[in-house]
Chains A and B, each alone.
Chain A
């Protein structure tokens, strides 16, 4: 019976263990990449609460059509622009991207940018200004 448990345990480790990644520690993010003088909330608040703000706004916009930009993801993206070597805003594939730099550092995965644009792109219509 013990042998059996060992085999099962090693199977489980094989299945789960593949996600761990090794490598050098990430550099400290630069949080001062912002247009304008200040964020919508003090730094110590927004660091803790930004997820709540964005999630709340997400439901308000999606289901009720409220499109204020103060707590919208779009608001973040339009303000926290990091320019790359070519002078254009970098997207979230780049380590320097504002959201990415911090989330990489804190090792917190986010899936926002699987769907949302991570750079401010002017669209065919000026929607939701």
Chain B
């Protein structure tokens, strides 16, 4: 394994400006959607007094969770000392910052009063996990920025391990905080479960890794740099483990719920119910997001690059379906306010079997805008600083590379 040279992305090509232009246009349209929603108020969205968090929150939490997981590769290199991942540390950190920025912007721009962001920064209720998250997110930015600096600056290079450890611990806490947003909600059947925290951590691992693989492949393809099979296969093997780990927590969560009679209503609603969340769970989360990628990664298919890309994309689609069922499905099932009674009528929808939600176009555009911001920051970062190893060909990247073994 030879010494790694880092380069920046070639920023003079038409393709680069074209991509930046498209992303900027998407972001401008998303800002227009935000203006439309904020000017009119949330009644123009699909959200209402029953489904109070909608598609923007699915996008935001997806991006925030994936951001934490995108740091995986850097952590495996720094904390667990796996040499093959070390050259990717910078890129993995950059992706983490980019995804987090995208997610947070979507979250903030959906607030009822986004103009009061300064209030969120100056008034704190420390019993609120939301308030803690504000510190966890800003702290993540700071720590990862320092981590990148230490990796890039030769003089600080000797400290980068410390920064890497700090970032690793911090992101575990951060995702615990994100999962606990739901875990701490005592009133609802779908939430109020400590397992939300480890579930979100496992999800962050799988989604972050899937995002990283796709970003890595796209970046190396478009910048015409070499990306060897060795590293990709390692990454997809790890991704497979993470997908299985996330599924384990899903299994534990549902088995526990299925055991307790008080949760049978919610489980019946999600697993067999009449709403769109049932196919989202079985087809989206389980089939597309779990079974299919595992089949791809651990059979002969996993040797093909395009299959690895497809598998990663499926994990992302499955993750999206999963967050939809967690965030929106969890609200869609009515709360048990009167356990001994059946609600016959109510002006506030208490008698509903479940609450329907259809996202409006501006919500969808806002969510996509968050993704565009993440991509834009990633590409821009790659263009201005040296994030990219010049080559990730097997002979450069793979510590176990033997010339004769390559067929």
Contact = CB atoms under 8 A, between A and B. Distances in A.
Contacts of B380: 8
Secondary structure type dominating chain A contacts? helix
A9 to B, nearest CB: 12
Indicate the size class of the contact surface on chain B. Answer: 10 to 19
A15 B28 CA distance: 8
A3 to B, nearest CB: 8
A3 B14 CA distance: 12
A11 interface: yes
B11 A4 contact: yes
B20 interface: yes
A125 interface: no
Interface string A101-113: 0000000000100
Nearest to B8: A1
B222 interface: no
A102 B79 CA distance: 60
Contact of B24 (A1, A3, A11, A111): A11
Contact of A7 (B12, B17, B115): B17
A3 B384 CA distance: 12
Chain B CB within 10 A, most for which of A1, A4, A8, A14? A4
A4 B383 contact: yes
B31 A15 contact: yes
Nearest to B16: A4
A85 to B, nearest CB: 30
A64 to B, nearest CB: 17
Interface string A1-37: 1011001100100110000000000000000000000
B11 A1 contact: yes
Contacts of A3: 12
Nearest to B20: A7
Contacts of A8: 380
A59 to B, nearest CB: 11
Contacts of A4: 11, 20, 383
Contacts of A15: 28, 31
Contacts, number: 14
B7 to A, nearest CB: 14
Nearest to A14: B28
B384 to A, nearest CB: 8
A15 B115 CA distance: 16
Nearest to B12: A3
Contacts of B28: 14-15
Contacts of A1: 11, 384
Interface in B1-34: 11-12, 17, 20, 24, 28, 31
Interface in A77-129: 111
Contacts of B115: 111
B34 to A, nearest CB: 12
A62 to B, nearest CB: 13
Nearest to A8: B380
Contacts of A11: 24
A46 B11 CA distance: 56
A19 B384 CA distance: 30
A3 B11 CA distance: 9
Contacts of B384: 1
A127 to B, nearest CB: 26
Contacts of A14: 28
Contacts of B20: 4, 7
A4 B24 CA distance: 13
Interface of B: 11-12, 17, 20, 24, 28, 31, 115, 380, 383-384
13 contacts: A1-B11, A1-B384, A3-B12, A4-B20, A4-B383, A7-B17, A7-B20, A8-B380, A11-B24, A14-B28, A15-B28, A15-B31, A111-B115
Interface of A: 1, 3-4, 7-8, 11, 14-15, 111
In the A-B complex, list the 6 residue pairs whose CB atoms are closest, starting with the nearest: A4-B11, A11-B24, A1-B11, A4-B383, A7-B20, A15-B31
